[in-house]
Amino acid sequence: MTDYIEPRVLKGFRDFLPDAEITRRSLREKIESTFRSFGFLPIDTPAIEYAEILLGKGGGETEKQIYRFKDNGQRDIALRFDLTVPFARFTALHRAELLFPFKRYHIGKVWRGENTQRGRYREFMQCDFDIIGSDNPASDFEIILLIHTALSNLGIDVNIHVNHRGLFNRFLSNLDLGSKSVEILRTVDKFSKVGEDETQKNLAALAGDEKAQKILQYTGAKGSFTDVLNRITELSGGPSAESQRLLLLHQYAQDVSGSFTFTLDPSITRGLDYYTGVVFETFLKELPDIGSVCSGGRYDNLAGLYSKEKDAISGVGSSIGLDRLLVALESLGKLPDAKDCLLAIACADDKNSGLYQSLALKFRQEGIPCEVFLEADRQLVKQFVLAEKKGMRYVIIPGDNPLTDKLTLRCLASRSNLELTFEEALEKIKT
């Protein structure tokens, strides 16, 4: 018989120990800082909402994966499974209080009772950013530029693949396949997973051999942005509002100086139904095989399901997969070393702990994080070892008068001690 409760976490859930949590926060802060530099504003919504709101029109996968339950008042409630649905509800509810075009980001946890065998988690962090209330190409472009900038600021080179679902639909309509566009889009979306033969077979089953061939010609168009654009414009029946928009995006990209480019890739369709315009996926140049780390697109009517008003709010947005990005950065050796406390004050005699704190405050006031060790130990060796394990660089060995005596600064890497004034120690630590 045990007299304790076994400590464990649920399958698909994770604790974050300090090193992992510091890294995740640092990544998040850098991304947020880019969002803020573009004038995007943060919002937050509750983790729990009415189930009818989160389930909306319903949908097989969502219904199966959502954490849904009754609260003590017998309300039918659920945990959010993404940040898009809550944002649609938020927009409908606060429409009158928002300034449009509204540029927002939202970083928060979501929960899905997914099969964990595929390396998926049941609790994970989403990071969404959108511009709503504007249908112009400049918004599409800003979202794409923001993806590029946010990831560049993390030291990552990316290829952004862009397509226009409306143009593809125009092409399908010309083939008399308009009514099958959802199935065809989904089939094309799986190309990279199942390969060309399988895709052709599946398309042929939907549209016949000849049309399947034409679809693969369209989605397989390769070359420079202009070459591909010309090709798919022609295949879709000549210039249109959709092809004009793609042309404008290309011109905008050329107007932005620096290394910013993106690829026109007619095979990108995004599986989700609600995209109607430009869609995009983002691949790491050094690790393309892990799949898209940031995907999104333009949608027509974000808040329609929750709005009495009939005028639609269209928008364009994207989502960074933080967990996938963390794994990628780790395997590229590009995880930021975000440890910021590199200095400890050893505890030579705990009757002086107040004085050690006072000395530490002086360093902190100069912007240097500083930990005070709390357990007295005349030998100090244990404290050096602890500081090293914590990833610190320096330990101050205080004398009997920590605030007035010279300081002994131990450099852990070289195992050498220096006798310094406070100002000299500060100088040494800052460099």
Considering the rule CB under 8 A, would residue 226 count as an interface residue with a second copy?
Answer: no
Q: Which is nearer to a second copy, 179 or 259 (CB)?
A: 259
Residue 10, exposed/middle/buried by CB under 10 A (0-12, 13-18, 19+)?
Answer: exposed
Query: Omega into 101 within 30° of 0, i.e. cis?
Result: yes
DSSP assigned state of 394: E
Residues between 179 and 198 with contacts to a second copy, criterion CB under 8 A: none
Q: Does 381 help bind a second copy (rule: CB under 8 A)? A: no
Residues 40-79 interacting with a second copy (rule: CB under 8 A): 41-50, 52-53, 56, 64, 67, 69-73, 75, 77, 79
Beta carbon nearer to a second copy, 209 or 366: 366
For residue 3, how far is the Cα from the chain centroid?
43
> The tokens of 284 are what?
């790491």
Minimum CB distance to a second copy smaller for 216 or for 249? 249
Nearer to a second copy, 132 or 212 (CB): 132
Q: Is 397 in the site for a second copy (CB under 8 A)?
A: no
Tell me the site size for a second copy, rule CB under 8 A: 110
167 close to 242: Cβ distance less than 8 angstroms: yes
252 to 281, contacts with a second copy by CB under 8 A? Answer: 252-258
Q: What is the DSSP string of 175-240?
A: TT-GGGHHHHHHHHHTHHHH-HHHHHHHHHHHH-HHHHHHHHHHHT--SSHHHHHHHHHHHTTS--
| Pick 142 or 242: Cβ nearer a second copy | 142
User: Does residue number 327 form part of the binding site for a second copy (CB under 8 A)?
Assistant: no
Fill in the per-residue mask, 341 to 370: x = in contact with a second copy (CB under 8 A), - = not in contact: x--x--x--xxxxxx-xx-xx--x----xx
Q: Scanning residues 142 to 161, which ones bind a second copy (CB under 8 A)?
A: 142, 145, 149
97-126: contacts with a second copy (CB under 8 A): 97-99, 101, 103-104, 109, 111, 113, 123
Sign, CA dihedral 44-47-53-55, equals: positive
| Residue 172 vs 335, nearer CB to a second copy | 335
164 and 265 Cβ atoms separated by less than 8 Å? no
Instruction: Estimate to the nearest angstrom the gap between the alpha carbon of 204 and the chain centroid.
Output: 37
SS3 assignment, position 398? coil
Question: Of 193, 308, 378, 430, which one interacts with a second copy (CB under 8 A)?
Answer: 308
- Which residues, at least 6 apart from 431, have a Cβ–Cβ distance to it below 8 Å? none
CB nearer to a second copy: pick between 24 and 186: 24
The answer to whether residue 337 forms part of the interface with a second copy (CB under 8 A) is: no
